[in-house]
Amino acid sequence: MPGADPTLARAELESKLADIRSRMVAYGIFPSPLGRILIARSELGVSMVRYIDSDDAARSHIARLAGDEVVEDTTTLEPVYRELLDYLNARGTRLSWPLDLRWAKSEFQRRVLAATSDLPYGAVASYGGIAKRVGAPESVRAVAQALRHNPLPIVIPCHRVIGSTGDLTGYAGTRIGLKEQLLTLEGVPVSGGGHRVDRNHMYAWAGPDREYCVPSCGGLSEMPLAKLTLFGSRRHAEAVGLSPCSSCRPDLHPLPA
């Protein structure tokens, strides 16, 4: 007799809830040292971080993105927010969340974001360097575009990617000041009115060995930035397992602080 046995109804309900759960996005809007930020997550992981100027603009933005499966839920976002706050207050260097790249626009962008994720704390690379890493060394502009539309700023550290001349270039639209703040937080020296990283003041890693150098070592100063990862401090280079170059000995001849 239809409907008398709730078992089938229960099974259909579970299926429907699983479907909703997979599409559901929970978000919270929080204060931070960089202004108000929106953090959103799905059941798979954190899916969006956004700097926002007004809460209403943020809500309509996310409603447009996720349709009617959007729920404001600051409670479950709270632990994510706490970690982000620790990071922004220089109390932590890692953001250890599972990520959901559902709002990445293309496979190419996903590859760019993955390569960018590998950049260590306190280090910078160039757009050309990222293009090399994803096997598309000519696609520098496309890399810049991909990072411009990074759905997870801070978490996926597009702030650590700079122009080939050391210029910070763009960030989250017009928010280049935030890029400078994040780099400064990580100990990357920014000069030129806040718009340049000077490679002459940074340790460099060219690979393929695991040694980092002072900028004057060997032929480093002639190498294009695309081949290098630059570190603001010895500490951060050594934190990812690099050791001082046996030739230029940055441990004996460190750069002036």
Which amino acid appears at position 76 of this protein?
T
Contact 95, 87 (CB under 8 A): yes
Does 6 help bind other proteins (rule: CB under 8 A)? yes
Does 218 help bind other proteins (rule: CB under 8 A)? no
In the complex, least distance from residue 42 CB atom to other proteins, rounded to whole angstroms: 8
In the complex, least distance from residue 98 CB atom to other proteins, rounded to whole angstroms: 6
Nearest CA-CA partner of 24 in 9, 38, 10, 41: 41
Smaller CB separation from other proteins, 71 or 90: 71
Does 40 help bind other proteins (rule: CB under 8 A)? no
Region near other proteins per CB under 8 A, out of 4-12, 134-142, 208-216, 232-240: 4-12
C-alpha distances (whole Å) from 52 to each of 21, 31, 37, 56, 169 are 26, 10, 6, 9, 21
Residue 106: how many other CB atoms lie within 10 Å:
11
Tokens for 206? 């060219």
Active site residue 158: yes
Contact 245, 217 (CB under 8 A): yes
In the complex, least distance from residue 57 CB atom to other proteins, rounded to whole angstroms: 23
Number of residues located near other proteins, criterion CB under 8 A: 30
Q: β-strand 37-41 against 46-51: which pairing, if any?
A: antiparallel
Does 1 help bind other proteins (rule: CB under 8 A)? yes
Nearest CA-CA partner of 113 in 97, 96, 99, 92: 99
d(CA 69, CA 168): 37
Interacting positions 78-107 with other proteins (CB under 8 A): 79-80, 83, 96-98
Does 141 help bind other proteins (rule: CB under 8 A)? no
Contact 219, 205 (CB under 8 A): no
Does 67 help bind other proteins (rule: CB under 8 A)? no
Region near other proteins per CB under 8 A, out of 69-77, 133-141, 167-175, 176-184: 69-77
Interface contacts to other proteins, rule CB under 8 A: 1-4, 6, 8-10, 12-14, 16-17, 20-21, 41-45, 71, 73, 75-76, 79-80, 83, 96-98
